[in-house]
Each structure stands twice: as C-alpha cells, then as structure tokens.
Structure 1
Amino acid sequence: MAITPQNNEAFLREVDEELRRDQAMQFWTRYGRWMIGAVVLALAVFGGVLFWQNRQQQLAGEQGEKIATIFEKLGTGDEKGATAPLAEIAGSGIGAYRSIARFTQADVLLQKNDLKGAAAKFAEVANDSSAAKPFRDLALVRQTYAEFDSLKPQTVIDRLKPLAVKGEPWFGSAGELVAIAYLQLRRNREAGALFGEIAKDQKVPESLRQRAVQMAGVLGVDAIDQGEEKKPQ
C-alpha cells in the first residue's frame, strides 16, 4: 500500500522523535552523573558562600564589640587588659577592624615614645592591600610623622606629596609635613604656598589651619581667606 504524503510526513516525525529520544538517552547515560555532580557542586558552593557571608557578619559584630571593650579599657588606663584582645584582632581581624586595632597599637606605642615600634605598626596598615585606601593613606601619614626626624626631607616630600593635594582626605596632615620638609630644604616659597593652601581649606581641622596661618604669615604669604573676613558690625 502506498504511503500518502501526509502519512510519510507523520512517519518521518515519529522516526525523528525516536532518534531524538535515543540520542537523549545516550547523552544521559554518558553524562548524566557528571551533570548531577555539577549541580550538587554548584549548590554546595552557593551554600558555602552564604555560610561564609553570614559568618563574616557574625565575626564583624563580635569584633566590633571587642574593639569597643578595648577602647573602654584603654580609656580607664587598663592597657594590660587591652593588649591581648588588641593583638588578636590586629593579627586576624576582619577588614576595618584589623586596621583599627593596628592603629590603636601604634598610638599606644606613640604615647610611650616608641617611635620605631609605632612606625612599624603604621607601616603594616599602609602596606596592607586589603585595607581601604583612606586607612592606608592615613597610616602612611602617621608612619611618616613617627619617622620624621630620621627621614631625609626629600624622602618625606616624595612619600607624601601625592596626599598633600587639596581635595585629598588627609591634605592638611600630609601637607603640613611636606611643608616642613620644604623648609628644611630652604624651599621657603613652596613651603609658604602650601601652608597658605592649608590655611584656606575649610575642611582642614581648625587647630591645623591656625598653625598654617601662622607659618604662612612668617613666610610672607597672605593666608586669610576672603570668605572668612569679619563682617562689619
């Protein structure tokens, strides 16, 4: 019996579907276990990431509480009680808490006039690529402050000049050290100009600005911002 075009088309579809099922079965037989393994692995990784994030948040909360307790101990003069937990967070802390702990260690050493030890602690933060840039920059300024008397003036300038620019977060502190280094090299014009910029920057702490005004005046630079002139009474 002859097969009509319609029957022929239906027959071809059945053959094609059967071939697809056969190919699918062969594919599943060959790769099915690997696919299941990949899915299980992906779920395990995803679960691990969620667990890690949750644990990091818990640790951050715990370390935040420890830092607060450490500051309380230091505030009451209990340096001995703060030393061990501070060292723990400084060595294995999370993100900003590790930097804060190292800063605190360095400040304690500064209070003891241990400039070398303090500079080393500040350097740890400055060289920590995982720390936020503002932390690293401030640590570099503080390190330079601790080492200032043992550094060549040009070293201070080369190290801090990128931070001694108006608009940078630590412009005032870095700029003051750079300006003093200019004075040591008898580059009074550059020192005066930098002191003048610091004096006119409203974002710089008031005490630092006042020092800059005085230094700029000594060097013959008008450091009074026109916007700060007293209003007529």
Structure 2
Amino acid sequence: MALTPQNNEAFLREVDDEMRRDQLMTFWERYGRWTIAAIVLALVAFAGVLYWQHRQKEAAGVQGEQLQAAYDALGNSQPDQAAKALAPIAASGRDGYKALAMMTEADILLSKKQDKAAAAKFGAIAADSGIAQPFRDLALIRQTVAEYDTLKPQVVIERLRPLAVTGNPYFGSAGELVALAYLNSGRKDLAGQMFGQMAKDETVPESIRQRSVQMAGAMGADVNANAAADVRVVTPASVHAAQSKEAPAQ
C-alpha cells in the first residue's frame, strides 16, 4: 500500500529520530566516561574556588585582628610586642595587610632612631610590584623622608618628581620635599613655583598649604591672598622637621 504524504512524513521523522538515538548512543559509548570525568573535575574545581575564597576571608579576618593587636600594643607603648605581632603579617601574601604591617614596622624603627633600617623597609615596599601602587608611592615618600639628610638634592628631585604634580594624591607631601631639594640645590625659582602650586591647591593638606604659602611668599612666588591669611612663619628647616614627624596625608 502506497504511503500518503502524511504517513510518509511520519515515517521519515521516525527514521530521523532513530538515527539521532543511534548517534547519541555511539557518542556516549565513545565519550561518556570522559564527559562524566570532565563534569566531576569542573565541580571539584568550583568547590575548590569556593573553599579558597572562604579561607581567604578567614585569613583576612585573622590578620585584621593581628594588626589591631599590634596597634593596641603601640598605643600602650609596647613597640617590641607590636613588632612581634606584625612579623607574620608582613611575611604574608595579602598585599594590603602586608604593606600596612611593613610600614608600621618601619615606623617602629624610626621611633628607635634606626633611620637606615626604616628607609630600607620603606624601600622594600616601594619596590614590590605585587603591592598596590598607592602603598608603593606612599612608601617611597616615607623612605625619602627617612633618609633625606643623606641624599643629594637631585636624587630627591628625580625620585619624587613623578608624584609632585597637581592631581596626584601625594602632591603635597612629595611636592614639599621636591621644593626643598630645589632650594638646597640653588634653584630658588623652581622651589618658589612648587611652593606656589601647593599653596593654591585646595586638595593639599592644610598644614602643608600653610607652610607652602609662607615659603612661596618669601620667594616672591604668586600666592592667592586668601591662602596667605593666618599662616605661621616657617623656615626650610622647620618644613623638613615637620615632614619627618608627619605621615604624608597626600
């Protein structure tokens, strides 16, 4: 009996479905085990990532507590105990906590008048490409403050000039050191310009702006009249002394 168009279409669909089932079975026989293995490996990898993230959060919490314990010890005038708490954090791989711990270690060395060792610690942070750039820039400024008296003015200028520009978060701290280096190298004109720029920049910390206003005015640099009001008289020596005591806010 001849097939009608409808029966013929149904027959072709059955043949097509049967071929697909045969192809699927052939594929499963050949690759089924590998497919299951791949799925299992993917699930294991995903579980591993979740576990690693959980451990990272736990480790961050522990290091945060250790860092706070170190700060508490410093607040109680116990620098040696603080240094002991900071050591494992500084040796860890968590960049933020590591940088904070190392900087605090360097500050403890500064408090003990061990400027050379402190500068080396700051220098290690500045040179570590695995640490975030803001930490590295701050460490470079702190390093320069720690060893300022032993550096030639040109070394200070070349080291900090990239940071001593308007718009940089550390413009005030870096710019003040660069301006002093210009002054010490006999470039009063460039020193006056740098102090003038900081005096006009409202993003620069107020303490640095006040010193910059006075220094710029003394060198004949253009300073905004409002910025020049109510400032203390300062000298290059007092600027350097202030930088040595202050942690750069910029």
Q: Report if aligned partners of 2:153, 2:185 keep a CA contact under 8 Å in 1.
A: yes
Task: State the alpha-carbon separation in 2 of the partners of residues 162 and 170 from structure 1.
Answer: 10
Task: State the alpha-carbon separation in 1 of the partners of residues 122 and 191 from structure 2.
Answer: 26
Q: Report if aligned partners of 1:175, 1:198 keep a CA contact under 8 Å in 2.
A: yes
Q: Report if aligned partners of 2:196, 2:221 keep a CA contact under 8 Å in 1.
A: yes
Per-residue Cα deviation, 1:20-53 (whole angstroms, up to 9, x for no partner)? 1010011111111121122112211221112111
- The answer to which of 173-182 and 73-82 deviates more is 73-82
Q: Report if aligned partners of 2:106, 2:121 keep a CA contact under 8 Å in 1.
A: yes
TM-aligned CA deviation for residue 175 of structure 1? 0.2
* Number of equivalences: 230
Task: State the alpha-carbon separation in 2 of the partners of residues 169 and 199 from structure 1.
Answer: 15
Q: Report if aligned partners of 2:153, 2:184 keep a CA contact under 8 Å in 1.
A: yes
TM-aligned CA deviation for residue 164 of structure 1? 0.6
Q: Report if aligned partners of 2:103, 2:121 keep a CA contact under 8 Å in 1.
A: yes
Task: State the alpha-carbon separation in 2 of the partners of residues 225 and 39 from structure 1.
Answer: 72
- The answer to which of 110-119 and 5-14 deviates more is 5-14
Aligned partner of 2:49 in structure 1 is 49
Task: State the alpha-carbon separation in 1 of the partners of residues 130 and 224 from structure 2.
Answer: 40
TM-aligned CA deviation for residue 93 of structure 1? 5.1
TM-aligned CA deviation for residue 204 of structure 1? 2.3
Aligned partner of 1:218 in structure 2 is 218
Q: Report if aligned partners of 2:92, 2:98 keep a CA contact under 8 Å in 1.
A: yes
Shift of the 75–227 alpha-carbon distance from structure 1 to 2, 3 Å rule, reads closer
Larger RCO of the pair (alpha carbons < 8 Å, separation 6+): 2
In the alignment, is residue 25 of structure 1 matched against residue 30 of structure 2?
Answer: no
Q: Report if aligned partners of 2:119, 2:146 keep a CA contact under 8 Å in 1.
A: yes
TM-aligned CA deviation for residue 108 of structure 1? 1.0
Shift of the 148–105 alpha-carbon distance from structure 1 to 2, 3 Å rule, reads same
1:145-160 alignment runs, 5 A limit: 145-160=145-160
TM-aligned CA deviation for residue 211 of structure 1? 2.0
Counterpart residue identity of residue 57, structure 2: Q
Task: State the alpha-carbon separation in 1 of the partners of residues 151 and 17 from structure 2.
Answer: 82
Aligned partner of 2:81 in structure 1 is 81
Task: State the alpha-carbon separation in 2 of the partners of residues 119 and 129 from structure 1.
Answer: 18
Q: For 1:217, what is the secondary structure of its paired residue?
A: helix
In the alignment, is residue 125 of structure 1 matched against residue 125 of structure 2?
Answer: yes
Task: State the alpha-carbon separation in 2 of the partners of residues 78 and 71 from structure 1.
Answer: 9
Aligned partner of 2:236 in structure 1 is none
Q: Report if aligned partners of 1:67, 1:101 keep a CA contact under 8 Å in 2.
A: yes
TM-aligned CA deviation for residue 11 of structure 1? 2.0
Aligned partner of 2:40 in structure 1 is 40
Aligned partner of 2:111 in structure 1 is 111
Q: Report if aligned partners of 1:200, 1:225 keep a CA contact under 8 Å in 2.
A: no
Q: For 1:158, what is the secondary structure of its paired residue?
A: helix
- The answer to which of 3-12 and 45-54 deviates more is 3-12
Per-residue Cα deviation, 1:89-114 (whole angstroms, up to 9, x for no partner)? 00015231111100001111112222
Q: Report if aligned partners of 1:73, 1:79 keep a CA contact under 8 Å in 2.
A: yes
Task: State the alpha-carbon separation in 2 of the partners of residues 228 and 20 from structure 1.
Answer: 86
In the alignment, is residue 208 of structure 1 matched against residue 208 of structure 2?
Answer: yes
TM-aligned CA deviation for residue 16 of structure 1? 1.2
Per-residue Cα deviation, 1:189-208 (whole angstroms, up to 9, x for no partner)? 11101111112223322322
Aligned partner of 1:58 in structure 2 is 58
Task: State the alpha-carbon separation in 2 of the partners of residues 160 and 222 from structure 1.
Answer: 23
Per-residue Cα deviation, 1:159-200 (whole angstroms, up to 9, x for no partner)? 211111122111111001111111122111111011111122
TM-aligned CA deviation for residue 229 of structure 1? 5.4
Per-residue Cα deviation, 1:58-80 (whole angstroms, up to 9, x for no partner)? 11111111111111111222122
